[in-house]
Amino acid sequence: MKKVFFIPTPIGNLGDITLRSIEILKYVDFIFAEDTRNTLKLLNHLNIKKPLKSYHKDNEKLLTQKVLEHVKCGNKIGIVSDAGTPCISDPGQFLVKKLIENDIPFEVLPGANAILPALVMSGFDTSSFYFAGFLHHNVSKRKKEISELTRMKTTIILFESPHRLKSTLSILLLHFQPPVAACREITKKFEQIIYINSETDIKNLTLKGEFVIVIDNNLCSEKSEDEPDYSEIEKLKKEGFSKRDIVKIMQIFGFKRNKVYNLLNK
């Protein structure tokens, strides 16, 4: 039966591939992959030989038409990303929309992802969470995105590349109550979770591997819901205290970090 399958692949440990994913990889006629080299390594590990075609962010809209043509010819198509589940900060979402529009059957297989392991590892509240994906590469736009995230009174999860990690964590410390959890190399040999409480923690980070950041932005009942007195903040500014020091001082008196920071930026 002609169909498209969205197949999750391991994010690090190859043992995390599901039996059903292996079964479908063997079953399909063609595999469209984000990076054919990475997928070829996985297929070789599984002793599976299938025709591979490139399907990534830069050619996604163009190649989607090719996928539709293959399916209409009766072929079974597998879609995989480099690691984890397709469409989650990876190619595939545009294709899903087109499949729905054209009434073409498809299946999304459950499997490996970095979001849930990082959430559980953090020790933060798991009853609800918000996934923000990758933040903008532009610093000013990233600051704005982070500021807007403060409205989400829940656990927040986002991805970040190693070369932007320190900058992003520094901005996060200005907006959120520490600690912020930085999870690296999930499921791999050097898997690690680092709790960021200060700039010193950020400086000591090893910038290798993939990172998932988890932020506990759930409401804390022990913090005051009142607005801080802006005149007191002005006095501290005139005394030469930095924004970060003012935030810490006001937190000692029970005011929420976000409220103080918002007043500082008025």
Cα 147 from chain centroid? 17
Q: What is the pLDDT of residue 252?
A: 64
Q: Kindly list the domain boundaries of the chain, sorted by start residue.
A: 3-108, 115-216, 230-264
Enter the pTM of the model.
0.77
Pick from 167, 168, 196, 166: which is nearest to 181 by CA?
Answer: 196
Q: Which CATH class for the 115-216 domain?
A: alpha beta
Asked if residue 156 lies in contact with residue 130, where contact means CB atoms within 8 angstroms, the answer is yes
Pick from 51, 14, 16, 57: which is nearest to 36 by CA?
Answer: 51
Q: Are strands 106-108 and 192-196 parallel, antiparallel or unpaired?
A: unpaired
Alpha helices by DSSP H, the chain: 19-27, 36-45, 60-72, 93-101, 115-122, 139-149, 162-175, 199-203, 230-238, 243-252, 257-264
pLDDT in tens, the chain (266 residues): 789 999 999 998 999 999 999 999 999 999 999 999 999 999 999 999 999 999 888 888 888 998 999 999 999 999 999 889 999 888 888 999 999 999 999 999 999 999 999 999 999 999 999 999 999 999 999 999 999 999 899 999 999 999 999 999 999 999 999 999 999 999 998 899 999 999 999 999 988 878 999 999 987 544 445 667 777 788 888 878 888 788 777 776 667 777 777 777 76
CATH domain 3-108 topology: Cobalt-precorrin-4 Transmethylase; domain 1 (3.40.1010)
